[in-house]
Structure formats: C-alpha cells, structure tokens
Amino acid sequence: MKLRVGSRDSKLAIIQSELVMAALRTAHPDMELELITMKTTGDRILDRTLDQVGGKGLFVKELDAALRAGRIDLAVHSCKDLPMELPEDLPIAAFLPREDPRDAMVLPQGADAPDPDKPIGSASPRRRLQLRRLFPDLAVKPVRGNVLTRLQKLDDGEYGALVLAAAGLKRLGLAGRISRTFSPEELLPAAGQGILAVQCRRDMDPSLLSCLQDREAERCALAERAFVGALNGGCSSPAAAYAAVDGAQITITGMYADEKEHIHKASVSGPLSDGIALAAELAAQMILFPD
C-alpha cells in the first residue's frame, strides 16, 4: 500500500511530516510512503500579517485541495495553524504526542538580553498583547516568514528578540537558541501548540493511522480548540487556551482580549472525558461574566 503525505515546503513542516512518516513505517513496515511538498498561500504572502489576508486557512487551502483531488492521501499540520472550522469531508484522523507547548524567546547571536531600542518580533496578536504586559517598555512588531527566515531577520539586526513556539525550535534542532521559555501562566500558548495533526479524506480507513494517535494530545487539542472556537476565535482574534492533564482530570485555562485589548483569563477543571464541554462552558462564562 502507498500513501502520499502532503506538507508545506518549509524545513520545519518537512521535519514534522517526516516524524509522521517514521511512525507509520514503524507500524506498517510494508507501507510505501511518498512526501509531497507545496507552498501555501500563507507562505507566499509575507508583507502582511495573517489577520490582514485571511487568517490561518491560508496555510491549509492548497493541502485541502490536494486531498480532495486525490493528489495526496494525508496532510500534516501544526495543530495551532489549523482554522477552527474544519471541513466535514477532511477530518483530523490523529493527533501526535505533544512537544513542548510553550512560547520561547530567542535573542540575536551573542546577545544576553533584548536590545531596548529594537522591537520584539511576533506577528501573533495573542503574543503581542501578553508580551506588552511582560515587557511594557519594549515595542512588538510583526515578523513573517518561516522560522529560519525569522531567525535570519533577527540576526541581521531587524529585531531585538523573537518569540516563537518552543516546539518548532526543538524540532529544528535549535533548542540552543532559546534564551527564555515562558510558562503558560506568563504567556498562554495558542490552542494546539506543540501538537501535530494529521488530516485525511473521510473515506480513508482510520485504523491505518491509529498508530499515530496520542489520546492525551487529542483530548487537550480538542478542548483547547473548543474554547477558542466557542469565542469564534482564530488568528485575528487574540484568544488562547491551554489544557493540562493530571490523571483523570483536565484543567483548561482560556484567554481572550476584548475590543479594548483588555485581557480576560480564567481556568476550569473537571473530568478528562468532559474536556470539550468544560472548555465551551468556560468560554461562555467568560463572555457573560468578564472579570
């Protein structure tokens, strides 16, 4: 049997797809796998932030089309880059074990602190608002491009620091560039951050991908996405969620910013099996009774 795996053509996306393919080869030694890469609209438009050009869906549009046309059989995504509304004919078939979910600060080569005369680079409204609280004296300026492109802009002197997902840096072998890792209490991660999601067509036999499924990552991803989805959140809406599992219990922390950019944050805990419902209820309560 042969499966064609679709991926964005960035180095990080390819590494992530290769992780999926390695797990499939281990479970199905006779399976033939082919990696097919493509540049998405989100990768091509680099002069504007995502909320200005259509949101996170720009990173999946070409992969969705390739799945529907049968040019690929699977698509590998960073879960945090998936839009909240997913097409019914292209379900998420598996969530892989979570890498470090936190955000991390990267400094220019040789620096030991952010340059106060240069901005922190981050295109995420979620990060920007939280960074404003952590670093009130530093400006935050959008930066686009893949991780390696952003690092080059940092080292060329355009920024005093970058804030990136720790998971991406670690998968790229760049953990040594991390100067500070932010706790979820300091900087709440994006929903699904650190988790890889594998998308397929609805007619695929799901048992082929059961070897990829991590139950805890699935529960966390679905709860976090339920929170942001209940807020009608996405790339252009500063919202975030992080779920932590302790035995049979799950704690979900959610955050959103209102039109005045005031940050609202709250948590809820309950049975792991009720994670989605708890997250949706938390979002509803925060909207009805903002702090």
DSSP H or E segment with residue 138: none
Task: Report d(CA 148, CA 175) in Å as an integer.
Answer: 13
The span from the CA of 50 to the CA of 82, in Å, is 13
Q: Which strand ranges, in their side-by-side order, compose the sheet holding 239-246?
A: 239-246, 249-257, 263-271
How far is it, in rounded angstroms, from Cα 88 to Cα 48?
30
Instruction: Please state whether beta strands 263-271 and 249-257 pair in parallel, antiparallel, or not at all (unpaired).
Output: antiparallel
Report long-range pairs for 80-83 (Cβ below 8 Å, ≥24 apart): 80/165, 80/189, 80/190, 80/191, 80/192, 80/193, 80/194, 80/195, 81/56, 82/56, 82/192, 82/197, 82/225, 83/55, 83/56, 83/57, 83/234
What does the block give as tokens for 6? 């679709």
Which of 43, 73, 81, 100 does the annotation list as catalytic?
Answer: 81
User: In 97-235, at which residue ranges do the beta strands (DSSP E only) sit?
Assistant: 103-106, 120-121, 140-141, 161-165, 178-181, 196-200
Sheet containing 2-8, strands listed edge to edge, beginning at the edge strand earlier in sequence: 32-38, 2-8, 74-78, 196-200, 92-95
* Separation between Cα atoms, residue 21 and residue 15, nearest integer Å: 10
β-pair partners for 164: 104
Query: Is 214 noted as a catalytic residue in this protein?
Result: no
Assigned token pair, 204: 């695929």
For residue 152 the two structure tokens come to: 């080059």
Residues with catalytic annotation?
81
